[in-house]
Structure 1
Amino acid sequence: MSYPLPPSARAWQEKVRRFVREELIPWEVHAEMNNGEIPKEARDGHFRKAREIGLHAISVPKEHGGAGLSMLEQVVIQEEIGKVTNALGWCYHSTPPWMLDACSPYQMETWVKPNVRGERHECYAITEEDAGSDVDAIKATARRDGDDYILNGEKWHVTSANHADHFIFQAKIADGPHKGAHCLFFVDQGTPGVSILRTPAYTHNYAAHHPIYRFENVRVPARNRIGEEGDGMGFTYDWFRYERIGIAARCCGAAARLIEEATAFAKERIAFGQPISNYQAVQFMLADSVTELWAARLMTYRTAEEVDAKVDVKVSHAQCSIAKLYASEVANKIADRAVQIFGGRGYMRENVAERFYRELRVDRIWEG
């Protein structure tokens, strides 16, 4: 079943699909058996080839050095990227678009433009031990001290921190007229007072880790503050919207890959004298999976079109959240069915269904 995509989106879909199939998927099992890692030359090759096909800074306007793609085009790309396991699809840079309007000229030159060019890499230090989806429950603080701020707090699940050279740190203003309001800061790796407490092991095998960091009396210049005191939550919500629709799209891609792989296996697997695809129990699982994927894709694509049409931000926030909720739950159900169809093979780490069964679980958790 197809969706009436514009020619530009269809071209991106075909180009990225070929890249994922030919360059990324062949490395899945190697990555799985090596803690998410593949040889450096292979990884560098993925980044280089991604850039050669234009897969770089896809959300950033062309005047800022990006590809300037529509949200629908980005969703189509993310769906294809979602078809590969072990985060091998994280092979291109995509600066969060909210930074372009939020950051000062100094911040644009110091962090944002180098990030767009792929020379610097950010990570988000928002979540805390007792503050996940309820971001307002964070305890991290920022206290003004002359021309500086003093930052304190402990941050969990700082995704990709081992590949980043700076943090985007979220805190509450400790005192003054904006006490309790949220604020974001750029903090460079290596700034005195920043320490890594530990790097937990997670269900998935990703080369990008999710360490726990402590920020203890970290002094940063006021020019590192993003926007004004109190703007932080608005920027975070903007980022959440962008990430949630991306998760929805990647879940659609994972579901499509699982359906394709499980269907091919069911046609070849002989049990009691005939392919298991002839049995209603298997047919029902595949039929339900195709139906739910179709619904998730319609929801995700339509949400992207609404973003491109600049629908009211509150409506967009709800739509992105709904798409993320539905698509992530659908992908998890389809992964479970795929494991069942593959049987014992589906419980082997070398099998795509087993990997997605573990990896997709987090999509119902992160980004709220």
Structure 2
Amino acid sequence: MSFALSEVALERQAAVRRFVDTELIPFEVEAELNDGEIPAEALKRHKAMAQELGLPRFDVPAEHGGLALPILDQVAAIEPVGRVTNGLGWCYPEAQGWMFEACSPAQIEALIKPMMRGECYFAYAITEEGAGSDVDDIVATARRDGDHYVLDGEKWHVTSANLADVLLVQAKFAGGPADGAHGLFFVDARAPGITTVRTPAYTHTYRHHHPILRFEGVRVPVANLIGGREGAGMAFTYAWFRRERLMIAARCCGAMERLIEEATAFAKGRIIGGVPIAERQLVQAMLADSVVDLHTSRMVTWEAAAAHDRGLDLKSLHARCSIAKLVASEAAGRVADRAVQIFAGRGYMRENVAERFLRELRVDRIWEGTSEIQRLIIAGGLLKRGLAGTIGAGG
């Protein structure tokens, strides 16, 4: 199968890579040694440049001022963002296509369009202490009270909550005709009743924190329900999962590319016994295996993106995105480990890109659905729709 990108798509991909390589990567070590923080003027410039590149508008319909790019073009352009460590690529909010289907005109004007302009930042509050990859295990509740819902519960790993203006909170309806069904709500991040239980330290060094938030009697206007009806929440969560899994795979490809480049350059210049280690066959084997991991992951990810553009049915797309995330996230971990080995002692220094990626890429096998959950989704697709219905017909 061919994945031909247009000249415009290739130019966009190259522009994003230039932005990452010349603007973001130079701040990695400073961010690593300063709790993820970089100078305010640099962050402001990065946000402005991301806007100029259109990154927040890639998936937005044209009628709402977006670029409405094919998913394949989006994946190709997002891949270079994975080249940078320390969350520096998270310098822009992203409006996603499903939001314009799920949200009311008022919600789009008040929340989604400001996010497109970089004026509003979201954080997803879905995971709970006893509910991770299986979202149906959540116990947070939403009870109707007149023209409001009252939210109660506790959410874990609320990524970027410390920087967010709005939380997307998932809860189950308590009472009413949709009792037990899922709902998604826009919630003001500063609403009364929201408290930070604690902010755990994580393996990576990001300015984006992942606190545990408690919701106690948080009143949310009925107008803030996403989807316009009770019980529609899971459909939008699945749409979010599909996109996030695909983009995680794309960023993993970008990370692998950077690691291979850096490890190869080092191996060419590192002399032992009068010979560059790049000439040693065991080092060559590690580099070769890493190239195979990258190429395989990229092809699987790009195929899943192309399947979106072909209009494949949602259940099959769900499996394709799971395959892409599983393949790319597992491969990226292997590539990072090999890169550390090639750098040897240097690869264990925090100033080294391989050390940082070894820590940062590990979470890609966990968030937005663990590798084990992806395997269950893929196997479920196989058992229900057969091999052709899961990965397409051969031949």
1:348 corresponds to 2:349: yes
1:256 corresponds to 2:249: no
Task: Give the 5 Å matches for 1:160-171.
Answer: 160-171=160-171
Tell me the alpha carbon deviations over residues 283-338 of structure 1, each in whole angstroms, 9 at most, x when there is no partner.
Answer: 11011110111010000011111111111000101001110011000000000000
State the match for 1:13 in structure 2. Answer: 13
State the match for 2:240 in structure 1. Answer: 239
Residue 289 of structure 1 contacts residue 334 of structure 1 at CA under 8 Å; is this kept in 2? Answer: yes
TM-score (norm 1): 0.97
Residue 65 of structure 1 contacts residue 117 of structure 1 at CA under 8 Å; is this kept in 2? Answer: no
Q: Partners of 2:183 and 2:93 in 1: how far apart? A: 25
Q: CA deviation at 1:53?
A: 3.0
Residue 93 of structure 2 contacts residue 122 of structure 2 at CA under 8 Å; is this kept in 1? Answer: no
Q: Partners of 1:18 and 1:191 in 2: how far apart? A: 40
Tell me the alpha carbon deviations over residues 113-143 of structure 1, each in whole angstroms, 9 at most, x when there is no partner.
Answer: 2222221111111000010001000000011
Gaps (5+ residues) in structure 1? none
How many residue pairs match? The answer is 367
Per the alignment, do residues 219 and 10 of structure 1 end up closer, same or farther by CA in structure 2, a change over 3 Å counting? same
State the match for 1:108 in structure 2. Answer: 108
Task: Give the 5 Å matches for 1:146-225.
Answer: 146-225=146-225
Q: CA deviation at 1:3?
A: 5.8
Task: Give the 5 Å matches for 1:271-286.
Answer: 271-286=272-287
Q: Partners of 2:85 and 2:27 in 1: how far apart? A: 9
Residue 256 of structure 2 contacts residue 294 of structure 2 at CA under 8 Å; is this kept in 1? Answer: yes
Residue 28 of structure 1 contacts residue 84 of structure 1 at CA under 8 Å; is this kept in 2? Answer: yes
Tell me the alpha carbon deviations over residues 48-76 of structure 1, each in whole angstroms, 9 at most, x when there is no partner.
Answer: 12222333321112221222222111111
Q: Partners of 2:331 and 2:344 in 1: how far apart? A: 20
Tell me whether 326-335 or 53-62 shows the greater mean CA deviation: 53-62
State the match for 1:28 in structure 2. Answer: 28
Q: Partners of 2:304 and 2:3 in 1: how far apart? A: 14
Residue 85 of structure 1 contacts residue 355 of structure 1 at CA under 8 Å; is this kept in 2? Answer: yes
Q: CA RMSD in A?
A: 1.2
Q: Please give the secondary structure, in 2, of the residue aligned with 1:209.
A: coil
State the match for 1:86 in structure 2. Answer: 86
Residue 60 of structure 1 contacts residue 94 of structure 1 at CA under 8 Å; is this kept in 2? Answer: no
Tell me the alpha carbon deviations over residues 163-194 of structure 1, each in whole angstroms, 9 at most, x when there is no partner.
Answer: 11111110001112211100011110221111
Q: Percent identity?
A: 63
Q: Partners of 1:78 and 1:55 in 2: how far apart? A: 8
Q: Partners of 2:57 and 2:93 in 1: how far apart? A: 6
Residue 168 of structure 2 contacts residue 186 of structure 2 at CA under 8 Å; is this kept in 1? Answer: yes
Residue 56 of structure 2 contacts residue 95 of structure 2 at CA under 8 Å; is this kept in 1? Answer: no
Tell me the alpha carbon deviations over residues 253-301 of structure 1, each in whole angstroms, 9 at most, x when there is no partner.
Answer: 0001000100110011011221111111101101111011101000001
Q: Partners of 2:143 and 2:56 in 1: how far apart? A: 37
Residue 153 of structure 1 contacts residue 214 of structure 1 at CA under 8 Å; is this kept in 2? Answer: yes
The residue type paired with residue 43 of structure 2 is: R
Tell me whether 112-121 or 323-332 shows the greater mean CA deviation: 112-121
Q: Partners of 1:103 and 1:149 in 2: how far apart? A: 17
Q: Partners of 2:260 and 2:89 in 1: how far apart? A: 19
The residue type paired with residue 327 of structure 1 is: A
